[in-house]
Structures are given as C-alpha cells and as structure tokens.
Amino acid sequence: MTFKFIRPIPADRGFAITKDTNTLTIFNKGGATQTALVFVPGWTCPAGYYQNQVPFFETRYSVVLKDNQGVGGTPLKSDSKTYVPGNADDLAELLKMARFEVVHLVGHSMGAEIAVILASKYGKELNVRTVTLIAPVTQDPIDTLPQGIVGKISKKLAHDIRKQIEKDGGISETVCEKVRLFLQLAKIADSVRMLAKPEATRRTNLEFWRYALTQEMVSVATAMEGMRLAGSEVTERLASLEIPILIIGGKNDQLIDSEKLTRVFGLPAVKHGKLLEGVTHFPHIERPDSVNNLIESFIRRMEARV
C-alpha cells in the first residue's frame, strides 16, 4: 500500500469541486448519483489511502475524498484548538456545494473525530444517514505506546511536546523538532511490534510513519495536538448522536485499546460493532474486502429502515 492521491481524476471516473484552497474529489464511475459516501482520512494521512474503497463503491455511490488541512494539496489554516472542527466545517461546506440528497460518512482514527463532529453539527442539513467509524480515537494514543525502552522514550517525548506547546503558546520550531523525533522513535517502536505480523501489515504501518515524516512538522504537530484537544467534544457529541453508527476496529490495534473500544459499542446510536482478528490500526487497508462488505451491508440495512 502506497499512501498517495489520484490527481487529476480521470474524466470517466468523476470530477472535483474546489472552493478557495479546499478540493472535494468525487468518484462516480456508474454515472451521476445523489448518494454520497464520504471518506475522512486520519492523522497525517492523505485521502488516497482509501484507494481500496474507491473501486468497490464508485459504481453505486458518489465516493467523496478530501485531504485534511496540512496534508496533500490542502494548506493548514487552523490552529490546534480549531483543527478537528475546522476540517469538519471545511468538508461540510463543500458537501453543501455538491448538493447530495443523501450522505454516508466514514472516518478513520482522527478522521472519525471529524466525522462525528460533522454529523453532529450538519447531520440534518446534509441528510447524513449513517456514520462508520474505523479504529476511532477513544483514548489518548500516547497511553497505548509499547512498554519497551523505545516506547517509554516516545511516551515521555510526547508528554514533553505537550508541555512545550503550553510553554511556547503554540506550535514553535522547538515543538516541531520534538515532533519529528517522536515520529522517528514511534516508527522504531512500531517496527519492533510488527515483527510477528504479516508482511503486508508491517508495510502498511511503516509506510504510515514514513509518510508522516515527509510532511511539514507544523502541520503534523497541529493535527496531533488538535486530535487530543477535540477528544472531550467528540466524546460528548458521540454519546448524543442519533444517526446510526457502525464501528470497525482491529483486535491488534497498537494505537487504540480494543477493550476500551468495545465499551463504545454500547452507545445508543451504535447499531453494530466489529473487531477484526489479527488487524492493527488500518482495517480498511489490511482487510479491505471485509471492511467494504461491512460498510455496504450496514448502509443497506439502515436504508431499509428509512
């Protein structure tokens, strides 16, 4: 799996909508459809890492992709406090321009936070029918770092980064230097944890850290802190959300505690929760067929109730 985006979109597969610095890419190979399936990427990841979902869904839905701020071709304009809700607002604005009749949301990791806020704020206006959360952030990812020496150093550095942000009043050069070191150490820690995993799983996880290290550190740091700061708001909105929710996780997720994730399965709006055996933090990449079928089946069941 290579983390990339398809640009420009082939004319026979869809089109793009652009406003200011934001671009919405819409795949609808089956022709015009007013039902949108919107995929929201996670921390530091481009929208193109949903490339295993596009071919499966594009003949039945308008598959919608957009890079978050600071990733791909989308510039960073928010600070840490407004990063996650700001991305939700950006996406909602473009979806309004597209004038879809029905919207289904899918968000991975930090993208799940964005999807929850978007559904909570704009669900009625956009006619959001379902929300699928893949490996959603349900706790501080720092707390799940491994207990080995590299993991302990990474955890300490992550806490130091937060203290530095408070001291400097924002994302400074010093913070960015520490974030780069954190990514390098996290990559090493993940490499060790993945030794016993299948080769495809190891490649996916290492590619994630490699891609993060190619980005502007101010964007990575802003999103990293923004993901943490949005946690309490997302928790409150998720608990009160009335739109049907599907949650998909990996039993071997190294960033999200699967036991804590199963507690979220009990929320009123959660209609189905599934943990995939042998899967880490990227179910949609590691087991695309399983994830695609779970999403399709869930949408069909929920739509049959309307």
Give the lowest-confidence range in 129-133, 157-161, 297-301: 157-161
- Segment 241-270 shows an average pLDDT of 90
Quickly name the fold that domain 14-140+229-305 has: Rossmann fold (3.40.50)
Has residue 99 got a pLDDT over 60? Answer: yes
The whole-model pTM stands at: 0.92
- Segment 122-142 shows an average pLDDT of 89
- Segment 193-197 shows an average pLDDT of 84
- Which one-letter amino acid corresponds to residue 102? V
Give the lowest-confidence range in 18-27, 30-39, 167-176, 234-243: 18-27
Through-space distance between the first and last CA atoms of the chain, rounded to whole angstroms? 37
Q: Mean pLDDT across the chain, nearest whole number? A: 88
Q: Which of 53, 77, 65, 79 is nearest to 111 (CA)?
A: 65
Tokens 């806490």 belong to residue: 159
Q: Which of 124, 31, 41, 33 is nearest to 84 (CA)?
A: 41
| Domain map (residue ranges) of the chain | 14-140+229-305, 142-226
